[in-house]
Amino acid sequence: MSTAPIWKQALAALEIELDPVIVSTWFRNTSLYETSEDKVIIACTDAYSKSIIQKRYKDQIESVLKKIINPSIRVDFILRPTKLNTMPLSGPLFDEIPSTEPTLNNTETPNSTPAAPFQTYRNKPQLNVSYTLDNFVVGVNNRVVHAAATAVIENPGHIYNPLLIYGNTGVGKTHLLHAIGNELIKRHPHFSITYAPSETFVNDLISYIRNKRPMQELRDRYRKSDVLLVDDIQFLAGKDASLEEFYHTFNEIYQLQSQIVLVSDRDPNEIKDIPDRLISRFQGGLMVMISPPDFETRIAIAKQKSQELGLSLSEPILQFIAEQATANVREIHGLVHQVQSYQNYQPQPINVAMLKSLLGAHEENTKPKRKITPDLILELVTKQFDTSIKDLCGKRRKREIVIPRQITMFLLRNELGLNLEEIGDMLGGRDHTTIIHGCDRIKQLTEGSEQPAVASHISSIRRELYS
């Protein structure tokens, strides 16, 4: 008897028992490998999914299968990776443009001029030399990633390889990526260091295919690097041809013990359409998050930027900038530049009152009078919706609980920069895919006009947070 119908029935029951998002994320590549009178073996295609399912969902799976097959059944798991028909590394990967990447920005035609040879740092600087470790302001939000970057510089290719840095826009990821490259070329002038945003990697591949140039030439450009620095890897998602080429490039560089440093705007586990086999390689090194800077770090960033611009700003002005620019480093730099512009045209020294008038400071961005903590967010959400922490962390799925719970996820993620696992643990041990779903749902509701009450609730909570 085929095991497929049994497993299909089990998955349907698990969607009710757990959550459709969890099942579609973790169970989509599973199968019922073998059944006997007292034992069921479930096959997983990658070790990471197997570990998650076995650790978090084994009891629920056993419960469901006992009802379907046998009350005394027990569950075990095996790893059976899917067989991939990949070509040898040295052979041609594609004869023509894959149909999966029709939207890439590339206006070349088959008769266009071939792309200029790719330049490594050794041939022509590609890194921003103004980004260094010396001017990277270290705070509680980025202390771990700064230590990891320093370790990579001290021992490239042998510790934290790959190093993957992720976080929201403007928190210093690209600065640190360039700083690693700049420091390595200073210490190892003979190194071939390649920096490439993922868009450059994609466009290079397309150019070579369209112009029918030898693919080995392109591979040599990337794979013979002593250090490969890739920014914005999230843009590779869904581009099957580029992902395939990058997968083999990654493998070859890693096997040569050359250093790989990657940057993403989110946890790779949150990026759709990047294959598990590539995610598992990212996880083989160190994946570390940069959170938005806290108040003290924002003051330090503002002070450093003002000194770079030759400004002498008072402590109250620095504090005011830190109070206003809460999202990221770029916002802080932007405000300092505005201060510089105003100061150039003001006959008298600028004070906080003048800045408030010039910048149109928003009430919502005033300095918090109390420290923002997860407990404070939970307290304000329960107060706003007249519910309890027990309900937020419980299993009830009624709408009057689900929306406050998802708003809590959203605020913990965006106001404190907590990672998915931390949020899940705080809210009753929920899976990170449930947190992703909740945050995305609230973002959709606040950006659309479907439920304006949600945006109103969040604004009210934020006013309480920063009052």
Binding-site residue ranges for ATP: 170, 172-174
Q: Mark residue 97 as left, alpha or beta (left: phi above 0; alpha: psi -120 to 50; beta: remaining).
A: beta
CB burial readout 380-407, b (16+ within 10 A) else e: bbbeebebebebbbeeeeeeebebbbbb
Query: Where is the binding site, in residues?
Result: 170, 172-174
Element (H, E) at 205: helix 198-210
Other CB atoms within 10 A of residue 351 CB: 12
C-alpha closest to that of 427 among 407, 409, 442: 409
Tokens of 401: 């609980």
C-alpha closest to that of 339 among 360, 319, 311, 316: 311
Helix (H, G, I), strand (E, B), or coil: what is residue 134?
Answer: coil
Alpha carbon distance 380, 402 (integer Å): 16
Where are the strands (E) in 59-216, listed by range? 74-79, 163-166, 193-197
Please give the biggest Cα pair distance in the chain.
Answer: 89
Q: Are 258 and 228 in contact (CB under 8 A)?
A: yes
